[in-house]
Amino acid sequence: MKRLGNSLLLCCLVILVDAFQDEEVKTPGFTADNFTTIQSTISDKIAEKNLDSTETSRKLKCLCTNCPSKECETYGQCYVTIIHELSGERRIYRNCFTMEQLNPKSRPFICMNTGNKAKFVNCCKDGDYCNRHVTLPPNEVVAVQGPPMRYLLLAGAVVVSLLLTVVLVAIVCYWHHHRPQNDRIRRGFPDVESILDRSELPLMGPHTPIRDIIELTSSGSGSGLPLLVQRSIARQIQLIDPIGKGRFGEVWCGRWRGEFVAVKIFSSRDERSWFREVEIYQTVMLRHDCLLGFIAADNKDNGTWTQLWLVTDYHENGSLFDYLMRHTVDTAGMIRMALSIATGLAHLHMDINGNKGKPAIAHRDLKSKNILVKSNGTCAIADLGLAVRYDSVTDTIDIQPNNKVGTNRYLAPECLDETLNMNHIDSFKRADVYALGLVYWEIARRCNTGGGCEDYQLPYYDMLSNDPSIEEVRKVVCTNKQRPVIPNKWQSCEDLRVMSKLMKECWYHNPAARLPALRIKKTLANLGAHDDLKC
């Protein structure tokens, strides 16, 4: 019964302490300065109630924070007080309820939350220095006062705000995934699926030509499709048949959504060549009707080997070399081909200034096998893997660090005798013009003016072997200064006569004497004006 009475008294004292500490800020008599006094009074009451029933045979040793010897002795209990400040700082006090502190009029100390700090106490008497441990067992923690009403209101406002944010995000996500596809494309950069899979817009249906996709998705820079769209298109292509083999790999005919495309496949050994050609094709403002249309680039890796893809427009007539092997042309067709090649080369060579300008580019491997014949009889220059660009800001040329050069048969004299000025872009342009003259010779030989035409032959076919070395070509072109033979009958046809004159002005031994591509384009445009020729 005595223990029950002590417990009831202790509960009452807890309530009184709670009331005092809740009013700590408002009650002048209860401050941090008299905190030690309150602790003493609490210990007095506990000691008083336990004197009659506690054996006093041995004092209990406790750790003491404020004692000189850092320890104290008591017949009561050891305790640890933990105070958590709002700033996050934690303070720990250790002491003991001593006999000197016992006072019948005191009330017990208990840990309470006073609103501005959290206080917890852990009392013990099960051994010396039992208050060494800081952790307060859950069943020893006395219920604390709830937070002030303003904190409850603030917490409620935070919870409501979070709920509203979650609902808003859910609505936005739902609207983004279910809104009309044609609305997405009007809001900045379109995603891949909105480009390839929407069918609401007539231009972007399942059978939309790649040209229309390029016009719709390009930023106006003329450098081709966005990279994500390129990869998506490349991975939907079905290869059909091989159509050729070049310097760096095979060329296949592929199909994308019912439309034919050409896929140039590089091996992983030629990664640098693949990267270079892709880099050139994506040059700002490069896209032109007289240059092979670039569509996409991607890599295919199945774990054992890697293929590097370059996807371009497909032209069923094949290269100019293949076409001239099988067909002849009339004078209008000859001029149409020659003009389109000169137009494409002039665009490559042109340096366009401005924020969206294009640097001057030299092809370095112009030949009939790198020119494709389109269905309308015009041509498109292809294979830009060896091209070089001129940087007008730094006045430099970005020549790749490799030993590859153009095709020996088409190399200009200055390339053969190694006198070409590698630091001047015009030197590379003039070498292109030399090769252009040889291509014109190939076309003119297949021009049928009514009196028949010659069989197709490569330049210097009667002077060089099928696969001549540089030394062999150098002897013919540089040492002997020979050029392809121009038949006398070409002089009887005005168009062939003009063409033969252009050839000679293209393959002068002195590079500075050769015509620029733009001048050649204008000459051919005037020659074919009566045919309303367009590239």
Name the strand (E) or helix (H) holding 254.
Answer: strand 249-256
Catalytic one of 365, 383, 432, 495: 365
Report yes or no: 60 and 75 within 8 Å, Cβ to Cβ.
yes
Report yes or no: 407 and 367 within 8 Å, Cβ to Cβ.
yes
Where helices occur in 197-319 by DSSP H, the ranges are 210-217, 227-234, 271-281
Tally of CB atoms within 10 A around 302:
7
State yes or no: is 365 an active-site residue: yes
DSSP class of residue 302?
A: -
Report yes or no: 203 and 212 within 8 Å, Cβ to Cβ.
yes
Query: For the residues of 221-238, what is the DSSP string, one character each?
Result: SSS-S-HHHHHHHHTT-E
**Cα-flanking dihedrals φ and ψ of residue 98, to 5°?**
-90, 165
* Separation of alpha carbons 281 and 382, rounded Å: 10
Q: Which amino acid is at 2?
A: K
Nearest Cα neighbor of 24 from 83, 65, 80 is: 83
Report yes or no: 380 and 315 within 8 Å, Cβ to Cβ.
yes
Name the strand (E) or helix (H) holding 439.
Answer: helix 425-445
* Separation of alpha carbons 394 and 96, rounded Å: 83
Query: For the residues of 282-334, what is the DSSP string, one character each?
Result: TSTT---TTBPPEEEEEEEE-SS-EEEEEEEE--TT-BHHHHHHH--B-HHHH
Nearest Cα neighbor of 414 from 390, 397, 431, 402 is: 431
Nearest Cα neighbor of 339 from 374, 388, 391 is: 374
* Separation of alpha carbons 75 and 53, rounded Å: 12
* Separation of alpha carbons 336 and 275, rounded Å: 32
Size of the chain in residues: 535
Tally of CB atoms within 10 A around 125:
18
Please state whether beta strands 396-397 and 388-391 pair in parallel, antiparallel, or not at all (unpaired): antiparallel
What are the beta bridge partners of residue 95? 79
Report yes or no: 280 and 360 within 8 Å, Cβ to Cβ.
no
Report yes or no: 274 and 226 within 8 Å, Cβ to Cβ.
no
In sequence order, the 6+-apart residues with CB closer than 8 A to the CB of 184 are 190, 191, 194
Q: Which residues are catalytic?
A: 365
